[in-house]
Amino acid sequence: MESAITYVELIHTVERMTDNCKNIAESVMDDINHRLVGHYTTDPQGVVAAK
């Protein structure tokens, strides 16, 4: 019984770790995207213009 509780705790911890990794990866990708295209805006017709 104790091993089942430990297994569930391990799975829960791994799940939390993967959520944290996903959040970090999304933050890094947002930062990269902002650095690449953050200096440009798109008007309603889809034309990209420098700020």
Q: How confident is the model at residue 17 (pLDDT cuts 50, 70, 90)?
A: very high
The residues spanned by each domain of the chain are 2-50
Would you say residue 10 has pLDDT above 90? yes
Q: How confident is the model at residue 35 (pLDDT cuts 50, 70, 90)?
A: confident
Would you say residue 18 has pLDDT above 90? yes
Q: What is the mean pLDDT of residues 8-37?
A: 92
Indicate the average pLDDT of the chain: 80
DSSP labels for 7-45? Answer: HHHHHHHHHHHHHHHHHHHHHHHHHHHHHHHTTEEE-TT
- Looking at the DSSP bridge assignments, the partners of residue 49 are 41
